[in-house]
A and B are shown apart, each in its own frame.
Chain A
């Protein structure tokens, strides 16, 4: 088991911030935590890394209790940039992690090159831009080649090219077998990274996957809607009536060539086919309309 969280509850000043989180991750996945501010995303990540206590529940990461410091040999946590020491250089930060985790120092150069931060690696962090700091935080969290990477808002303050770099690095890590759990408000980037999204609302995980929603959907306009519906019922094909002569289907329920063949056989004329995909943003709007 990569992540096992059972009934996690966290109370803060008489208010329940987490109200019973259950998460089980068995295979390497990229998981996005999405939710409005105050929904408990960072709290969940901080609880998982033992930076915060909690009231009830159990957390196991990679089969070990989350309070065991040795988990950090295989678990990395990318936090916000307040953890950086302004007086030290990026190199100092990476060297420290290499030292305490017994990683060869030549990894520093490799990681810096991969992320594209060699030019400012030896500058003091207080002179870094927000994007540079995010790069450094990423480098610090992947230098130990973790099996589990937890990330709190890794895409904040990034210009498009940095976002692409970080996305590519994360996808590469994922292909190498790393499980990544990240919180973010950047829903477009999330769509590009994963279709496993945990929508968090008021301390609960509302929905665990967008896999179904990510199926392609079709809106078909025909010349005889009633006849078309009769044919679909005969063949037990699920559909949704939109308006006169207009029906919608989910790709997993209906293969388009098969549909066209049936309609042609029964002399129903297809006038138009339109396709669309539901994304994180659309689902977010549906779930959290008016929340923020």
Chain B
């Protein structure tokens, strides 16, 4: 079986179509990196922002000082307090400029943490801010995330102000303008290697990757595979059993898939590291739990989990493709049907998202990052919709479809007498 697997691997690696598709994938990732790089907020941007504020603040302070000079002799305590407050504020802002210039993250994060504590993080009225931004959950998680970063000495993804962190509970933003501002601030990009990789998984693994891989291997699993004529007949007229042939094909497809994903990961991290920096595998990722509780996991664990469930999603897609190719015996029909089913079931699934069936449908787990962060489970209030369930469901359906395909082929073969 090893020899058949090696032959299948050779067929894939020498395929011009696959080479072209991979080059296309590289260009897509390159293009996406340029987008992320351009949209990454850097310390210089923050310094400029603070300096603008400082300038306005200085203008305001000058105006206050002039007013104070004009009122010389009158004991205006209110004005003096205002001047003192502004001076203190200005001093803090200048300190922050210096902290950002020095990339002194512990000072910057300490200020954020202190601001949250001063604002009474622990006394937030959770009923009032149940859905209005920032909800108690958002404030709490932002506070804890900053503490996590400070304690581990991890540079944050900028910006880090109050409006730059939202959670799924933030629904009401007051008005459209405020909502647009917060969403703009909280949609953060980071071109560091590790963070860029997480962006790639988030963006690519929501239907793009399954469709890409179905197209990539459609030819191998259908046209040359189960079709009426074609190269499969070379394999069928060798002393090879049907199950050996199918397992070798699947193993080769999965091996190449893993290799491509690893190469994509390495390429993404490399791009980020060369043009920015490596990033940090300990960066916190928020995991939602029921009853508005939560915990953080490290970016490394998050990426590993995303990688594993992504593989399971692809395995399921291949099983579906395989099944349709056995039924239709036609490449385009099999690939088209697979993609169509993925799309239709996605739309159809949303109709009963809160029902129990949803968690037992493999298509529900295609939003891999939302499955890992448990966001979907909490949003849909479906306790069965978890990461382990996802792995079991995707794996089980894959096995069912593969076995169904195998038995159909076997039945056809036996019908030959």
Tell me, yes or no, whether A20 is within 8 Å of chain B by CB: no
Tell me, yes or no, whether A82 is within 8 Å of chain B by CB: yes
A70–B230 alpha-carbon span in the complex (Å)? 21
Q: Which residues of A contact B229 (CB under 8 A)?
A: 82
Tell me, yes or no, whether B184 is within 8 Å of chain A by CB: no
A51–B4 alpha-carbon span in the complex (Å)? 19
Asked whether A96 lies within 8 Å of B416 as measured between CB atoms, the reply is no
Tell me, yes or no, whether A105 is within 8 Å of chain B by CB: no
A175–B238 alpha-carbon span in the complex (Å)? 24
A83–B232 alpha-carbon span in the complex (Å)? 7
A70–B240 alpha-carbon span in the complex (Å)? 8
Stretch at the interface among A52-60, A107-115, A166-174, A188-196: A52-60
Asked whether A54 lies within 8 Å of B239 as measured between CB atoms, the reply is no
Asked whether B234 lies within 8 Å of A84 as measured between CB atoms, the reply is yes
Asked whether A69 lies within 8 Å of B416 as measured between CB atoms, the reply is no
Tell me, yes or no, whether A72 is within 8 Å of chain B by CB: yes
Q: Which residues of B contact A51 (CB under 8 A)?
A: 233, 236-237
A12 to nearest B CB, angstroms?
Answer: 12
The 8 Å CB contact of A58, one of B16, B238, B417, is B417
When A83-B233, A83-B234, A87-B16 are in contact, do A101 and B239 touch as well, CB less than 8 Å? yes
A126–B52 alpha-carbon span in the complex (Å)? 65
Asked whether B230 lies within 8 Å of A54 as measured between CB atoms, the reply is no
A11–B416 alpha-carbon span in the complex (Å)? 12
B329 to nearest A CB, angstroms?
Answer: 13
| Chain A, range 94-129, C-beta contacts under 8 Å to B | 96-97, 99-101, 124
A85–B6 alpha-carbon span in the complex (Å)? 15
Tell me, yes or no, whether A283 is within 8 Å of chain B by CB: no
Tell me, yes or no, whether B10 is within 8 Å of chain A by CB: yes
- Per DSSP, chain A at the interface is mixed
A99–B1 alpha-carbon span in the complex (Å)? 10
Asked whether B231 lies within 8 Å of A83 as measured between CB atoms, the reply is yes
When A51-B233, A79-B233, A96-B3 are in contact, do A57 and B241 touch as well, CB less than 8 Å? no
Asked whether A88 lies within 8 Å of B10 as measured between CB atoms, the reply is yes
Can you name the residue of chain A whose Cβ is closest to the Cβ of B13?
Answer: A87
Asked whether A67 lies within 8 Å of B413 as measured between CB atoms, the reply is yes
Tell me, yes or no, whether B75 is within 8 Å of chain A by CB: no
Asked whether A87 lies within 8 Å of B11 as measured between CB atoms, the reply is yes
Can you name the residue of chain B whose Cβ is closest to the Cβ of A95?
Answer: B7
Can you name the residue of chain B whose Cβ is closest to the Cβ of A96?
Answer: B7
A50–B410 alpha-carbon span in the complex (Å)? 12
A124–B11 alpha-carbon span in the complex (Å)? 12
Q: Mark B12-47, 1 if CB is under 8 A from A, else 0.
A: 001110000000000000000000000000000000
Tell me, yes or no, whether A153 is within 8 Å of chain B by CB: no
When A83-B231, A96-B3, A99-B3 are in contact, do A50 and B416 touch as well, CB less than 8 Å? yes
B12 to nearest A CB, angstroms?
Answer: 9
Q: Which residues of A contact B6 (CB under 8 A)?
A: 99
Asked whether B237 lies within 8 Å of A79 as measured between CB atoms, the reply is yes
Asked whether A88 lies within 8 Å of B11 as measured between CB atoms, the reply is yes
Asked whether B416 lies within 8 Å of A53 as measured between CB atoms, the reply is yes
A31 to nearest B CB, angstroms?
Answer: 19
Asked whether A69 lies within 8 Å of B413 as measured between CB atoms, the reply is no
When A100-B3, A100-B4 are in contact, do A50 and B236 touch as well, CB less than 8 Å? yes
Asked whether B14 lies within 8 Å of A87 as measured between CB atoms, the reply is yes
Tell me, yes or no, whether B415 is within 8 Å of chain A by CB: yes
Asked whether B240 lies within 8 Å of A100 as measured between CB atoms, the reply is yes
Tell me, yes or no, whether B412 is within 8 Å of chain A by CB: yes
Can you name the residue of chain A whose Cβ is closest to the Cβ of B230?
Answer: A82
Asked whether B239 lies within 8 Å of A97 as measured between CB atoms, the reply is no
A85–B220 alpha-carbon span in the complex (Å)? 11
Tell me, yes or no, whether A49 is within 8 Å of chain B by CB: yes
A58–B417 alpha-carbon span in the complex (Å)? 8
When A50-B413, A57-B417, A67-B416 are in contact, do A101 and B233 touch as well, CB less than 8 Å? no
When A87-B16, A92-B10 are in contact, do A53 and B412 touch as well, CB less than 8 Å? yes
Tell me, yes or no, whether A198 is within 8 Å of chain B by CB: no
B9 to nearest A CB, angstroms?
Answer: 11
| Chain B, range 402-417, C-beta contacts under 8 Å to A | 412-417
A47 to nearest B CB, angstroms?
Answer: 8
Q: Which residues of A contact B240 (CB under 8 A)?
A: 69, 72, 100
Q: Which residues of B contact A73 (CB under 8 A)?
A: 239
Q: Which residues of B contact A85 (CB under 8 A)?
A: 11, 224, 231, 234
Asked whether A100 lies within 8 Å of B239 as measured between CB atoms, the reply is yes
Tell me, yes or no, whether A199 is within 8 Å of chain B by CB: no
Q: Which residues of A contact B413 (CB under 8 A)?
A: 50, 53, 67
Q: Which residues of B contact A88 (CB under 8 A)?
A: 10-11, 14
B137 to nearest A CB, angstroms?
Answer: 54
A76–B6 alpha-carbon span in the complex (Å)? 22
Can you name the residue of chain B whose Cβ is closest to the Cβ of A97?
Answer: B238
A67–B236 alpha-carbon span in the complex (Å)? 11
A13 to nearest B CB, angstroms?
Answer: 13
Asked whether B237 lies within 8 Å of A72 as measured between CB atoms, the reply is yes
Q: Which residues of B contact A124 (CB under 8 A)?
A: 14
Q: Which residues of A contact B231 (CB under 8 A)?
A: 82-85
The 8 Å CB contact of B238, one of A47, A54, A72, is A72
Q: Which of A51, A76, A84 has the most CB of B within 10 A?
A: A51
Q: Which residues of B contact A50 (CB under 8 A)?
A: 236, 413, 416
Can you name the residue of chain A whose Cβ is closest to the Cβ of B414?
Answer: A67
Can you name the residue of chain B whose Cβ is closest to the Cβ of A52?
Answer: B416
A198 to nearest B CB, angstroms?
Answer: 21
Asked whether A70 lies within 8 Å of B416 as measured between CB atoms, the reply is no
| Chain B, range 387-415, C-beta contacts under 8 Å to A | 412-415
Can you name the residue of chain B whose Cβ is closest to the Cβ of A89?
Answer: B14
A71–B10 alpha-carbon span in the complex (Å)? 26
Q: Which residues of A contact B237 (CB under 8 A)?
A: 49, 51, 72, 76-77, 79
Q: Which residues of A contact B7 (CB under 8 A)?
A: 92, 96, 99
A114–B233 alpha-carbon span in the complex (Å)? 25
Can you name the residue of chain B whose Cβ is closest to the Cβ of A55?
Answer: B417
Q: Which of B7, B238, B240 has the most CB of A within 10 A?
A: B238
A-B contact pairs, 7 of them (CB 8 A): A57-B417, A72-B237, A72-B238, A82-B231, A85-B234, A92-B7, A96-B3
6 further A-B contacts with Cβ under 8 Å, apart from A51-B233, A53-B416, A101-B238, are A53-B415, A59-B417, A69-B240, A96-B7, A100-B239, A124-B14
Closest 5 CB pairs of A and B: A53-B416, A99-B3, A83-B234, A87-B14, A72-B239
